[in-house]
Structure 1
Amino acid sequence: MQIDGLAAVVTGGASGLGAATARMLAGAGAKVTILDRNGEEAAKVAAPLGGLGLGCDVTDGEGVAAALEQARSAHGVERILVQCAGIGTAKRIVGKQGPMDLADFEKVIKVNLIGSFNVLRLSAAAMTATPPLENGERGVIIMTASVAAYDGQLGQAAYAASKGGIVSLTLPAAREFAPRGVRVATIAPGLFATPLLEELPDEVRGQIIKDIPLGRLGTPEEYAELVRACVVNSYLSGEVIRLDGVLRLPPR
């Protein structure tokens, strides 16, 4: 699928992987809408791209539906959806203070997994109803998991479970939508130079980097380039791709 001229939606696009993806898509000629819980930052990132930035909570069914309709009014039905919205937590199942608060686990699952499913279902419904493009495709949906889905560390029970859910969601979604011309794929990033990691002390970041065989963090632009490859390769669907510099997370 060629990107030029198509409408694209990026969730979590106000910073990090999502912002780099939005810039890549706009640079390739897409009409980009950024959905982010921080609507002000979403608008700031979208403005120089000639795009649209909207405040949106991915767990809110009605809110996402309204935001997508606003995006479609401006750009037409999205043919490209990239989901980068997500949160994390660092808590053991049973810590020094006792069992993990159930609300903490629920929050991560709700944002990362249920939020991804929420946007997936609404976008896929619109994509599958559009006329096919020249090659028979109607759209492509790319979700973001994590290497923690496979190598979850101590304290990552909620995060790893939420990202594992996205991994498991990929194939049945791809199978369901393939006959209707919509592809679904997932990227599982390792450790990337996002604002969250940049805030860590130098010694902590240095220790993290030591665990990466390639010897450095990934860049958001490298994630965006893999998104581009997933979009333009019309035979890619149902796959989860690790992008991790050969990283295999240690237990802690």
Structure 2
Amino acid sequence: MEISGKKAIVIGGASGMGLATADILIKNGASVAMLDLGSSNGAELAKERGAIFRECNILDFEQTEACLREAAQALGGLNIVVTTAGGGIAQRTLSKKGPHPMDSFMHVVNLNLNATFNICRIAADIIKDETPNEDGERGVLVNTASIAAFEGQIGQIAYSASKAGIAGMMLTMARDLGSFGIRVMAIAPSLFSTGITAGMPEEMSLELTKDAAFPKRMGRPHEYALAARSIIENPMLNGNTLRLDGGIRFAPR
């Protein structure tokens, strides 16, 4: 799908990989709505870029639906959705304190997996009414998994489960939505320099990435954005999860 002239929503668009993706979409000629928490500086960032900002808490599923529909209306349509919002905790299945609390497990699953599904189902309902291009394509959904979906470390049980769920949805969702001309993909990053990791001391960063094939460093938000752009532009990328990891494989800890 050609990006120029398309309408895009980026969830988590006020920082890190989401902001980098919003920037690359705008640079390539898309109209963009950046959705993020009200506590972010998303309104200011969007104004600087000539984009739209809408406050959105993805854990509030009804509010997220309303926000997606309103943002698409403000854009005048919808072709591209990239969702980067999420998070995790560090708790083992069983520790000296006892079994993993169910409430914290469910919180992570809601934040990463259930919120992603909610965004995709609503976005697909909006995109289905778009005019298809010459290939019959109406839109693309780009989600964010993690390499923890495949080799989660000790203490990542909730995060790994939720990200594995995202990866597991991709083929089925692509098959569900293929008749509407909607493609679905996920990107599975390794350690990226975003959020709290952006301020990590260099020696710690080098230690965490020493087992990467190349480059032996954390990923950069722009590199995630490049992957998202490639997915959007290449119609044969569908129903799969793209590892973005420099050839690293997580050790147990």
TM-score (norm 2): 0.95
Aligned match of 2:55: 55
Q: Percent identity?
A: 42
Structure 1 alignment gaps of length 5 or more: none
Aligned match of 1:231: 232
3-state SS of paired residue (2:81)? strand
3-state SS of paired residue (1:140)? strand
Aligned match of 2:102: 102
Aligned match of 1:191: 191
* Displaced runs of 4 or more, over 6 A: none
How far apart, CA to CA, are the structure 1 residues paired with 2:107 and 2:76? 32
Shift of 1:58: 1.3
How far apart, CA to CA, are the structure 1 residues paired with 2:38 and 2:150? 30
Shift of 1:236: 1.6
2:111 partner amino acid:
V
3-state SS of paired residue (1:210)? coil
2:166 partner amino acid:
I
Which has the larger displacement, 191-200 or 163-172? Answer: 191-200
**CA displacement 1:189-240 (0-9 Å, x = unmatched):** 1111112212334443232122322211111101100111100111221111
Shift of 1:39: 5.3
**CA displacement 1:138-164 (0-9 Å, x = unmatched):** 000011100000010000000000000
1:24 partner amino acid:
I
CA contact (8 A) 1:124 1:182 kept: yes
Structure 2 alignment gaps of length 5 or more: none
How far apart, CA to CA, are the structure 2 residues paired with 1:236 and 1:213? 24
Determine if the alignment matches structure 1 residue 72 to structure 2 residue 81: no
How many residue pairs match? The answer is 252
CA contact (8 A) 2:78 2:130 kept: no
How far apart, CA to CA, are the structure 1 residues paired with 2:145 and 2:129? 27
3-state SS of paired residue (1:231)? helix
From the superposition, tell whether residues 100 and 160 of structure 1 become closer, same or farther in structure 2 (CA, over 3 Å).
same
Shift of 1:40: 4.1
3-state SS of paired residue (1:143)? strand
Shift of 1:60: 1.9
3-state SS of paired residue (2:58)? coil
TM-score (norm 1): 0.96
